[in-house]
Every structure is written in C-alpha cells, then in structure tokens.
Structure 1
C-alpha cells in the first residue's frame, strides 16, 4: 500500500513541476540586425581563354595550347604570379554538319576550348592585362568580378554594426511594449557575402587598353539576437 501511495504522489507532483517550469520560462524578444560596409575593390578575377576549330582533335587542341602558352607567358611578364593563374575549363567537342542532302549528320571537325581564371591584384594594370591577352590569342572572355584581398576587417566592421542595429531594435521594441530589456540570451551570426553594388561593364574591346569600371562592392553583416525581458 505504501508503494501505491508513493506512486500516486509522484503522479500528482510531476504535472505540478511541469506547470511550474512552464510558468517560469523566460519571456524573450527576438530581433535581427543588418549592416552594410561599402568599399572599393582592390583585386579582379577574370576568366579568359581561347577556342579553336580544326579537322582533327589534336589540331584543335594544339591551336588553343599555342594561344594559352603565349597568354600565360605574357601574364607572367606583366607580373601576374603563377599562383594567380589557374586552368578552369578544358573542353574538346566534335562539330557536326547537319546540312547533308541525305538528311544525316557528318563529322565536320573538332572544337577545343582552354580557359584560365586569373587574379589581377593590381587594378591599375587590369585593362592592359586584358588587352595583352587579346593580342596574344584570347578570343573568349566568360567572366569578370571584383573582390577584396583582405576582407576580414570590413567583414568584422559589418558584423559589429549589425549587432548595434539589433540592440537598437530590441531597445525600441521593449520601450514600445512598456517592458524592461534584459540580458542577451543568444547571438546567431549569418554569413557576410560580398555583393556587387553596380555592374562592371567591359567596353571598346578594340581599344589599346580595355577600359574597366571598377565601381564598389558591399559587405553585409546579419545577426539574430534573443534578449530576455526583465521581470
């Protein structure tokens, strides 16, 4: 009988404890903060290379290889380090002729493509680098983007400002609700991606030095913070 009484007591005590824990759960305010830091880029990343056609596969590949050898040599002469030049795509495809009177397809030859991704750390030389690559046989340009060589200080500044933004919002909401803002419970950081602030056009490819508009890029910070509401 004593055992049954003890079990019954525990059954009644457990809901009571659960209800007490629920009642004592802290009230919170959850806010997000955002910030943006704008900077002028100091590095460019360009993808360029050569495409060629020939009746044979080896002939098409040799033509692109000759162009790439000349381009790489010129880039090295212009001060681009070997670590900043990387093969990013290498393709060899068959070319088919669909104009046959018989209605079938005939193998017309081969097309080879060899692309490089190049980091240019001296933006003042970027136009000359592009023009030199064109002069040495580059006939394909598939991408140009701008970056910051050392983004950490700017990212940290964006993160600090996003925390300040979140704290200001939490203070505003607590005052509007007529409650006191308590301690910080959690801080969740989000990534700080680089975003192009405006397009970076390439124009006048026939010019001696390709003109480039560098523009600006922005680094964004985003954070979610949870604050207790003071009792």
Structure 2
C-alpha cells in the first residue's frame, strides 16, 4: 500500500517538474500602439422612412405603401441601383386617444400609424444630396443621418498597420535607451480591433447648395489598427 502511494506521488511530481522547466523567464517588454490612415469615402448609405396615420389600419398601410413606392421610384431615378435599395421595419400600431377619453375597458384607439424604412447605398457621392431631396419630395418624412464609407479599404488598412509598427518600434527604442538595455527579437505580435473603418456620419445642412440640392459633406474616414508586440530584453 505504501509502495503504491509512493509511485502515485512520483507520477504527480513529474508534470510539475516539466512545467517548471517550460516557464519562460526571459525579461520582456510588451507594448501596443494604434496606427491610423485617412481616406476619402467613395459610397454613402441613406436611411429614410415614411410614417402615415389614418382612421383604420388598412388606410394607414395603403397610404404608407403608396408613398414608399414613390420614394423607391425616386431613388431609382437618382441613379441608385435596385440591388442597393432595401426596405425594412414595416410596422402598424394603434394610436390611442388621450387619457380623458379612456373607456371602462381601457384606452380608446383613435387611429392607426404605419411606418416603413428604406436604406439605399449611393455609389456616386454627387447623387447623395439629390437622392435625399427626391425621397423627401416623394413622401419620406423620417430622414436619418447619412453614413459614408469605403467599398474597399485594404490599402488604407495596410498603411495603418505600418503606422502602428513604426510607433511600436519607436516606443521600444525609447524604453531601451532610457532603461539601459538592448532590444532582442520580437517574441509575440498580434493585431486587435479596428479592422474596418467605421461609417462617418454627416449632418444634412438645411441651407440649399448652388444647384438647389441639400448639401452633404462626406469629409474623411479614419481607419485604425491596434498592434501588440512583445520584445525580448537583452543586456
């Protein structure tokens, strides 16, 4: 029995010893940096909706559908392709009278509200303002912000990666100089976050532009990449 216990203890001690031998005791320096690159957008996403109200649900839906069909038709006239137009979020809900008109069985329904949303991708930025105006003329009464983005940002993302690496190496040299040690090879390198640019939202100005269309400024997009690096420290 005692012999069996000693054998078991010996077997348990082997992995612990092996683990101790695998511990990396080399001194290291871990840093991170965020690289950025600027680029002009080449496409825009418009989101607008139609809200209609009538005495019956059928009438509210009929009016809403009619206006939404006109909105989609105007988007096509503005040069937006069918594949870049998508309707969504169709909703019909009751409209309740104020509290003074409540009945014994609960709130009184005074009408119905129907709403629908359309999202359009505009690939010619010169058409953004005219497309917004066309949707409003067709009956859109719930226009949201305009989002700008790029269809392909691979080149800019690579530029952001180079910027991040330059910053990390600059930091590492500074620490080595201040700490009185030499930089060894990079032991670990990873990238996290910021793989794709976030859409840039622009406000639609109320003043008219020279051609009468709603002026919309696309501005610039900022693409960022976070890079983490671990260097070996040598003395």
Deviations 1:79-132 (A, max 9, x none): 211121112321111000015356752111100001011111111111111101
Measure the CA separation in 1 of the matches of 2:123 and 2:60. 32
Distance 2:163 2:110 in 1: 60
CA contact (8 A) 2:85 2:118 kept: yes
Moved more, 98-107 or 47-56: 98-107
Change (3 A) 1:148 1:107: same
Q: Secondary structure at 1:100's aligned position in 2? A: helix
Verify: 1:194 aligned to 2:165, yes or no.
no
TM-score (structure 1 length as normaliser): 0.85
Contact residue 196 and residue 216 of structure 1 kept, 8 A: no
Aligned counterparts, 1:155-194, within 5 A: 155-192=157-194, 193-194=196-197
CA contact (8 A) 2:96 2:111 kept: yes
Distance change in 2, residues 1:113/1:224 (3 Å): same
Return closer, same or farther for 1:196/1:81 CA change in 2, 3 Å cut-off.
Answer: closer
Equivalent residues of 1:46, 1:118 under 8 A apart: yes
Q: CA RMSD in A?
A: 2.9
Question: What runs of 5+ residues in structure 2 fail to find an aligned partner?
Answer: none
Segments of 5+ residues of structure 1 without an aligned counterpart are none
Question: Residue 115 of structure 1 aligns with which residue?
Answer: 117
Counterpart CA distance in 2 for 1:11 and 1:46 is 65
2:151 corresponds to 1:149: yes
Number of aligned residues:
226
Structure 1 residues 226 and 86: CA distance shift in structure 2, 3 A = same
- Cα separation, partners in 2 of 1:96 and 1:14, compared to 1, 3 Å: closer
Length-normalised TM-score, structure 2 = 0.84
Partner of 2:228: 224
Instruction: Deviation per CA, 1:167-222: give whole Å up to 9, x if none.
Output: 2211221221111111111111012253577x622122777411112222211111
Q: Which residue of structure 2 aligns with residue 26 of structure 1? A: 26
Tell me the distance in 2 between the aligned counterparts of 1:224 and 1:109. Answer: 58
Structure 1 segments, 4+ long, off by >2 Å, are 6-22, 99-105, 193-197, 205-208
**Residue of structure 2 equivalent to 1:212:** 216
- The structure-2 alpha-carbon separation of the partners of 1:97 and 1:181, relative to structure 1 and needing over 3 Å to count, comes to same
